[in-house]
Amino acid sequence: LALETALHRALPRDELQLYFQPVMKAEESELIAVEALLRWRHPDLGLVSPADFIPLAEDTGLIVPIGEWVLRSACEHHRRWCEAGGAPLHMMVNISARQFREEGFAAMVASVLAETGMTPGELTLELTESMLMDDTDRALARLDHLRALGVCLAIDDFGTGYSSLAYLKRFPIDELKIDRLFVRGIDRNTRDAALVSAIVSLGHSLGLRVVAEGVESAAHLAVLRRQGCDLAQGFLFSPPLPWDEFVAAYPPAG
Ligand code: G
Ligand code: G
Ligand code: MN
Ligand code: NA
């Protein structure tokens, strides 16, 4: 309950912050996108991971205002990037299940796009398989609504959820993000390598871009390049960084 009370105050007290992790073209190691990752600076507990407070935010419904803040802040940071003369950069934002199911979600996305002047095609919303699997007809309607706004849609943590491949045929998805669970062993474990290779082929045959998460070593990247994976994200390139550090590491007009 104490944590819940504190979470209620997090937004008005300005305790939430976005970190940004670069996403690179696998072949050229060139910056192409950035994922916004939420952090909470709790006055006593210090930095609290979203893994520890997103579930609470979902249960209490606080995820709705918090998620809107995340999206607006991500779009505002993107505008700063553009104003600094940055090359086109996709902004990737995580969406939670409760947010996605919220009646006004697509309308909220539309108004944030309008208010911030964000180019819809440069925004990617990250969804998870389980969000699409319950009530698939309604999920499809929501995805169509979002796609009509011009935003891109990605499946995050691909391969780990409860899912069916049939939805890939029906749903208007642009991108698969392979969970780092599969990437971790690709340079040593032939099963992991086979799974990642199969996901890359599956994605490409459906016209999707494929991102590998959790790329931690040059050996990981070498296998991913050989397999033709499009994009790579992970500690090999950079951990998630505060905006100023991200911009210093990847100068927009550099
Ligand atoms: O950045 P980190 O590894 O601590 O993230 C832990 C988990 O929290 C990941 O599953 C990530 O997708 C999720 N997460 C990070 N930022 C957000 C956010 O803004 N919204 C939602 N819904 N989840 C987030
Ligand atoms: O679920 P999602 O993919 O959104 O989770 C993103 C989380 O993964 C972030 O919290 C980030 O800190 C973490 N992360 C990013 N790159 C790496 C990596 O190379 N290795 C590991 N172990 N975690 C990573
Ligand atoms: Mn993600
Ligand atoms: Na993921």
* DSSP E strand boundaries for the chain: 16-25, 31-42, 46-48, 90-94, 123-128, 152-158, 175-178, 209-212, 231-232, 241-242
- Short-list 15, 10, 34, CA closest to 240: 34
Average pLDDT over residues 160-178: 87
18 touches 240 (CB < 8 A): no
Confidence check on the interface: ipTM exceeds 0.90, yes or no: yes
Q: Note the pTM of the prediction, 2 decimals.
A: 0.97
Q: Which residues line ligand 2 at a C-beta cut-off of 6 Å? A: 21, 37, 94, 156-157, 180, 213-216, 234-235, 240
| Other CB atoms within 10 Å distance of the CB of residue 121 | 13
Residue pLDDT, tens place only, 173-216: 999 999 999 999 999 999 999 999 999 999 999 999 999 999 99
Q: What percentage of the chain exceeds 90 in pLDDT?
A: 90
**Measuring from atom 1 of ligand 1, which residue has the nearest CA?**
37
Handedness of CA 164, 167, 168, 172 (dihedral sign): negative
Compute CA distances 84 → 77, 112, 134, whole Å.
11, 21, 42
The confidence score (pLDDT) of residue 166 equals 77
The confidence score (pLDDT) of residue 139 equals 94
Q: Are strands 175-178 and 152-158 parallel, antiparallel or unpaired?
A: parallel
The confidence score (pLDDT) of residue 153 equals 98
pLDDT beyond 90 at 239? yes
Confidence band, pLDDT 50/70/90 cuts, at residue 116:
very high
pLDDT beyond 90 at 144? yes
Please tell me the distance between residue 231's alpha carbon and the centre of ligand 2 in angstroms. 15
CATH topology for the 21-36+89-249 domain = TIM Barrel (3.20.20)
> Is the C-beta atom of 70 inside 6 A of ligand 1?
yes
The confidence score (pLDDT) of residue 154 equals 97
Residue pLDDT, tens place only, 35-92: 999 999 999 999 999 999 999 999 999 999 999 999 999 999 999 999 999 999 999 9
pLDDT beyond 90 at 99? yes
The confidence score (pLDDT) of residue 170 equals 86
The confidence score (pLDDT) of residue 169 equals 82
Read off the tokens for 121.
Answer: 């095609």
The confidence score (pLDDT) of residue 165 equals 78
Please tell me the distance between residue 27's alpha carbon and the centre of ligand 1 in angstroms. 26
